[in-house]
Structure 1
Amino acid sequence: MADPTHFYAGWLVDPVAREALLAQFPPRYERVVAHHVTLKFGDETAAPPAETLGEIVGGADDGAGVQALVVAIGGRPARPDGGVFHITWSLGEGREARESNDVIARGWTPLAEPVTVRLIPKA
């Protein structure tokens, strides 16, 4: 059986949108992730979501190697599981993408104006 931690339903960041966002929000750390937004993690039977647009509404950076962008889906950044929709943007040495959840939970900074991003549903 495949490792269930590799399964997620959510969205891939559209590659064209990704390039524009990387120019607008320069990565602070050496490992650029900027790959996806998770809706549900660890469920290989989850269906892909219907939405195809999101809005970058804020960001979080712990200053020690984790940078994330907060995303609103359907006008809300709150995920159904109580987390916050986000894109792990960049990571420093020894840091992991899952740490974005903790960094965001400690607080994030809203943008003055949301930035629309095209998303590709994935399950």
Structure 2
Amino acid sequence: MDLSAKEAATKAGEGPSVIGWALDRDQRAELLQQFPPKFVDVVADHVTLAATASPDAELPSETLGDIVGRINDGEGVEALIVSIDGTTDRPDGSTYHVTWSLEKAKGRRAKESNDVIARLGWIPIDLPMPIKLIPRRWP
């Protein structure tokens, strides 16, 4: 069954799984050249839809998105902002993004990207970059 991101998030239930999209591995290498990471620990692997989903939650059907912005807090967290189905707004009220790079030595973690975006907003890039998204579940 084809589910929009909003429908998949609404039906995700509660549990220990994460649902969202993995970046295409071949395109990831290209993106790392287009958007050189600012910090030493490169993450650049997925976009979260629901962080506390049921293990049997259905996956969203979208397979395309656009990188539309970027944020770097200057203190160890960098993220790329993603538009999916025409919006950057995740159904939980946060923003679709890919945590791009971190300073783990400073204790920074990927989940801090949401807080950084909420606190600082984000900067649009000049030309949106289309990306392939692979619906995925993480245990």
Which of the five TM-score ranges fits, normalised by the shorter chain? Answer: over 0.9
Structure 1 gaps, min length 5: none
Alignment partner of 1:37 is 2:59: no
Shift of the alpha carbon at 1:66?
Answer: 0.1
Alignment partner of 1:72 is 2:78: no
SS at match of 2:57: coil
What is the number of equivalent residue pairs in this alignment?
119
For residues 26 and 59 of structure 2, what CA distance do their matches in structure 1 show? Answer: 21
Alignment of 1:1-123 (within 5 A): 4=16, 7-43=17-53, 44-92=55-103, 93=105, 94-106=107-119, 107-123=121-137
**Superposed CA offset, 1:56-79 (max 9, x none):** 000111001000000000010000
TM-score normalised by structure 1 residue count: 0.93
The two structures, once aligned, show a CA RMSD in angstroms of 1.1
Structure 2 gaps, min length 5: 1-14
Where has structure 1 moved over 3 Å in runs of 4 or more?
A: none
For residues 79 and 62 of structure 1, what CA distance do their matches in structure 2 show? Answer: 21
For residues 9 and 85 of structure 1, what CA distance do their matches in structure 2 show? Answer: 13
SS at match of 1:19: helix
Larger Rg: 2
SS at match of 2:65: strand
For residues 37 and 25 of structure 2, what CA distance do their matches in structure 1 show? Answer: 16
SS at match of 1:75: coil
TM-score normalised by structure 2 residue count: 0.83
